[in-house]
């Protein structure tokens, strides 16, 4: 194929693929099969590789990113992203209408929209092309998530149509469909990862991932609800939103003009039941004044527009009968009571269990066996019991009593003063805590052993192949192949991943050990002060608590861990397998005379010479401490470009100096 012919074919393929994307993701009306679509996409990808000079950022093949980003850059919103006032009361909604009509001098036309429960996004288009996508952030400044948003196929990269401003901003809600959410949580559970609490959390968390490929695999969607521009096409919100739909943006069909407050109430009532049939979660209805002129006249408060409000639906509740209460043991020994219920339909799913949280809640509810209970599903994976119908309590029904001994190992439970939960102190030998520690050991932020998940760990434990995480390093392929759901390829991948985990650095190995109260950050602190696990083993309480971040509770936990002979034997085995249980020379802590010793520094903005993570390491190597937020204890703020104005104002109000990148490098003599 000649160069000119290739260029022409590439242009044709891009137009055709974008059309099919729009049919599939926006109109829900595909006209070709997935296989046919893949053929077109593969042809385009092949031609772009043959003629790389024709590759453009808005090509359909660029929607799935291939490289990682170090951080999210921040930009200021051209128009602030304010929050909405909201109410659960129709009387308050009538009050809102009266205030609006008083300013308008008569009846007002509203636009009612479904309030999608997702992650807000603001996208700028210039010259009909996607330019930048920002999260809400603090309302003034947002994170640049352009790479991730470009992977969402229902969001056009180029638009066509009439009356398109040279630059405009369109806002919407990033959503995760319920079927995608359910599948994602199943995958996370099988991989030994905690499930997302709800689709909103999953969508929001996905936007902050650093790998656009993973974002693309999550199949996010977006519903748009607001058009902003200095050259707005029409003077009504409804016309602008309808026009955005014609340009290629996905606008909900659940949008309606309401000519008075009674029609608004009818819309709210209609969707209270109708929302259960949607693939997306909604938590209410947004009511907006339709006239742009009246919007401008009504104006804004410091936090929200006076021309819009949200009516929120109450969380759905159902009643069912309590069969029994079981008690689950978590990785750290916390005992969680779970109510077993007669199956009941709630928010589109069949509920068989509900959380009871702790002993205090059981006592407060005065639960008895066979009680009729009210169950609510707010933002949780497991619904919760919120009340009891005592009028239907059976005579002589047994009161639910919180257990006194661990249901797994029989150890008497403990409850620390000031804490809500009971826990099993036998965390070194209690079976679910043992398997939980192994699952923690293999997790991504610890040893990152791929191919193993909670189910596989349970299988290996039940087969007697492992009793602790050191046993993982003695497994072989022949032991794994016969196991259920595993084959030769999976077994080989697991063994290879176990062996390669020996290269994980010392702080992560400390975190992986699962010492109670020693999380990821604390493990780094411990690793900086104690150069090897042997040195840590010898530390007494005074030595440990002399480290500023280590308090008596953490010190006692570390000492208890290393007093256990089984743990000592496990650690000796880990050493023999080559795991890094001592600090490498290049990660040695700063001396007391470091240039930043005694200083607490917050990093903000974007830098030229180093990434933010590199600056954090530089600060630590020079004896300083990285702050996570501004406070009176902050020594100074290392200020890069595009730092948010709110952070700058807070620093000035607290009298905290701002130091530029160049001045900081001079301070540590790296200029």
Catalytic residue among 2, 78, 90, 115: 115
Q: Is the pLDDT of residue 77 over 60?
A: yes
Q: Which residue has the higher pLDDT, 620 or 223?
A: 223
* 474-484: average pLDDT: 91
Angular region, 406: left φ>0, alpha ψ -120 to 50, beta rest: beta
Which three-class secondary structure state does DSSP give residue 344?
strand
% residues pLDDT > 90 (the chain): 43
Q: Is the pLDDT of residue 27 over 60?
A: no
- The confidence score (pLDDT) of residue 475 equals 95
Q: What sign for the dihedral angle of Cα 364, 368, 374, 376?
A: positive
* 455-477: average pLDDT: 93
Q: Is the pLDDT of residue 385 over 50?
A: yes
* Other residues' Cβ atoms within 10 Å of the Cβ of residue 616: 16
**What pTM does this model have?**
0.54
- The confidence score (pLDDT) of residue 65 equals 33
* 446-475: average pLDDT: 91
Instruction: Give tens-digit pLDDT for 588-620.
Output: 444 445 788 888 898 888 787 777 767 887 888
Q: Is the pLDDT of residue 480 over 60?
A: yes
C-alpha gyration radius of the chain: 29
Which three-class secondary structure state does DSSP give residue 221?
strand
Instruction: Give tens-digit pLDDT for 40-73.
Output: 777 887 888 888 888 886 777 765 432 223 357 8
CA distance 644 to 602: 13
Instruction: Give tens-digit pLDDT for 256-281.
Output: 999 999 999 999 999 988 887 888 88
Instruction: Give tens-digit pLDDT for 497-539.
Output: 999 999 999 999 999 999 988 988 789 889 988 989 999 999 9
Q: Quick one: tokens of 400?
A: 């639910």
For the chain, the farthest-separated pair of C-alpha atoms sits apart, in whole angstroms, at 89
Q: Quick one: tokens of 533?
A: 């696990």
Q: Quick one: tokens of 649?
A: 């104002």
Instruction: Give tens-digit pLDDT for 87-133.
Output: 888 999 999 999 999 999 999 999 999 999 888 999 999 999 999 99
- The confidence score (pLDDT) of residue 25 equals 47
| Of 36-50, 137-151, 451-465, 648-662, the least confident | 36-50
| Of 15-19, 455-459, 548-552, 644-648, the least confident | 644-648
Residue burial 220-255, b: 16+ Cβ < 10 Å; e: rest: bbbbbbbbbbeebbeebbbbbbebbbebbbbbbebb
Which three-class secondary structure state does DSSP give residue 321?
strand
CA distance 601 to 637: 6
- The confidence score (pLDDT) of residue 71 equals 52
- CA terminus-to-terminus distance, the chain: 53
Q: Is the pLDDT of residue 310 over 80?
A: yes
CA distance 132 to 140: 15
CA distance 187 to 191: 6
- The confidence score (pLDDT) of residue 28 equals 43
* 378-404: average pLDDT: 84
- Strands 167-175, 74-76: pairing is unpaired
CA distance 200 to 198: 5
Q: Taking each helix axis from N to C terminus, what angle separates 3-21 and 34-50, rounded to the nearest 10 degrees?
A: 150
- The confidence score (pLDDT) of residue 23 equals 62
| Of 113-117, 237-241, 546-550, the least confident | 546-550
* Other residues' Cβ atoms within 10 Å of the Cβ of residue 354: 26
User: 600, exposed or middle or buried, with CB in 10 Å at 0-12, 13-18, 19+?
Assistant: middle
Which three-class secondary structure state does DSSP give residue 144?
strand
Enumerate domains of the chain plus CATH numbers: 3-63 (1.10.287.610), 86-312 (3.30.470.30), 317-392 (2.40.50.140), 431-503 (1.10.150.20), 506-587 (1.10.150.20), 600-667 (3.40.50.10190)
Q: Is the pLDDT of residue 325 over 50?
A: yes
Q: Which residue has the higher pLDDT, 207 or 468?
A: 468
115 labelled catalytic: yes
Alpha helices by DSSP H, listed for 120-217, are 146-149, 178-190, 199-207, 212-217
Name the nearest CA neighbour of 216 among 71, 70, 24, 61. 61
CA distance 37 to 39: 5
Instruction: Give tens-digit pLDDT for 122-179.
Output: 999 999 999 999 998 878 888 889 999 999 998 999 999 999 999 999 999 999 998 8
């Amino acid at each position: 194929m000649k160069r000119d012919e290739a260029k022409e074919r590439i242009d044709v393929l891009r137009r055709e693929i974008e059309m099919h994307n729009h049919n599939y993701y926006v109109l829900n009306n595909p006209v070709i099969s997935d296989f046919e679509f893949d053929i077109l996409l593969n042809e385009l990808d092949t031609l772009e590789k043959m003629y790389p000079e024709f590759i453009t950022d808005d090509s359909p093949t660029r929607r799935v990113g291939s490289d990682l980003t170090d951080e999210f850059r921040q930009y200021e919103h051209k128009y602030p992203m304010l929050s909405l006032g909201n109410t659960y009361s129709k009387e308050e909604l009538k009050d809102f209408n009266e205030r609006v009509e008083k300013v308008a001098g008569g009846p007002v036309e509203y636009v009612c929209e479904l309030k999608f429960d997702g992650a807000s996004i603001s996208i700028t288009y210039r010259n009909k092309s996607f330019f930048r996508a920002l999260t809400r952030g603090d309302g003034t400044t947002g994170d640049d998530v352009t790479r991730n948003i470009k992977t969402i196929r229902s969001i056009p990269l180029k638009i066509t149509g009439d009356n398109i401003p040279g630059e405009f901003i369109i806002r919407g809600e990033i959503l995760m469909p319920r079927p995608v959410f359910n599948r994602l949580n199943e995958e996370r559970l099988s991989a030994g990862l905690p499930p997302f609490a709800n689709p909103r959390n999953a969508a929001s968390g996905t936007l902050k991932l650093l790998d656009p490929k993973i974002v693309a695999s999550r199949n996010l969607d977006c519903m748009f609800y607001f058009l902003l521009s200095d050259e707005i096409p029409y003077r009504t919100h409804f016309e602008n939103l309808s026009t955005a739909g014609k340009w290629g943006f996905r606008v909900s069909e659940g949008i309606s003009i309401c000519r008075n407050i009674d029609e608004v109430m009818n819309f709210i009532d209609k969707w209270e039941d109708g929302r259960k049939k949607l693939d997306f979660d909604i938590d209410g209805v947004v009511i907006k004044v339709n006239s742009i002129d009246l919007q401008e006249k009504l104006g804004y408060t410091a936090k929200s527009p006076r021309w819009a409000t949200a009516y929120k639906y109450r969380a759905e509740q159902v009643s069912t009968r309590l069969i029994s209460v079981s008690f689950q043991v978590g990785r750290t020994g916390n005992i969680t009571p779970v109510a077993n219920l007669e199956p009941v339909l709630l928010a589109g799913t069949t509920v068989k269990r509900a959380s009871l949280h702790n002993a205090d809640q059981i006592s407060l509810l005065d639960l008895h066996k066979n009680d009729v209970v009210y169950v609510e599903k707010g933002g949780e994976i497991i619904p919760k019991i919120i009340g009891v119908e005592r009028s239907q309590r059976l005579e002589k029904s047994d009161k639910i009593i919180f257990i006194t001994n661990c249901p797994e190992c029989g150890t008497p439970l403990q409850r620390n003063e000031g804490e809500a939960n009971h826990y099993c102190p036998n965390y070194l030998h209690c079976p679910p805590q043992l398997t939980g520690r192994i699952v923690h050991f293999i997790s991504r932020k610890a040893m990152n052993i791929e191919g193993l998940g909670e189910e596989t760990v349970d299988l290996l434990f039940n087969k007697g192949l492992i009793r602790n995480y050191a046993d993982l390093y003695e497994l072989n392929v022949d032991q794994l192949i016969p196991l259920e759901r595993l084959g030769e390829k999976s077994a080989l991948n697991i063994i290879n991943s176990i062996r390669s985990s020996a290269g994980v650095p010392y702080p992560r190995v400390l975190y992986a050990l699962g010492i109670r109260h020693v999380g990821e950050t604390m493990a780094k602190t411990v690793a900086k002060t104690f150069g090897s696990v042997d040195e840590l083993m010898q530390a007494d309480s005074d030595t440990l608590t002399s480290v500023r971040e280590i308090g008596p509770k953490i010190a006692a936990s570390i000492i208890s861990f290393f007093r256990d002979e089984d743990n000592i034997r496990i650690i000796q085995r880990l050493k023999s397998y080559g795991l890094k249980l001592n600090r490498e020379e290049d990660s040695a802590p700063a001396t007391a005379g470091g240039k930043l010793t005694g200083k607490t520094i917050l990093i903000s903005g974007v830098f030229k010479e180093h990434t933010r993570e590199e600056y954090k390491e530089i600060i630590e190597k020079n004896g300083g401490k990285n702050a996570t937020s501004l406070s009176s204890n902050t020594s100074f703020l290392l200020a890069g470009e595009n730092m948010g104005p709110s952070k700058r104002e807070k620093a000035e109000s607290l009298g905290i100096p701002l130091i530029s990148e160049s001045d900081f490098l001079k301070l540590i003599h790296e200029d």
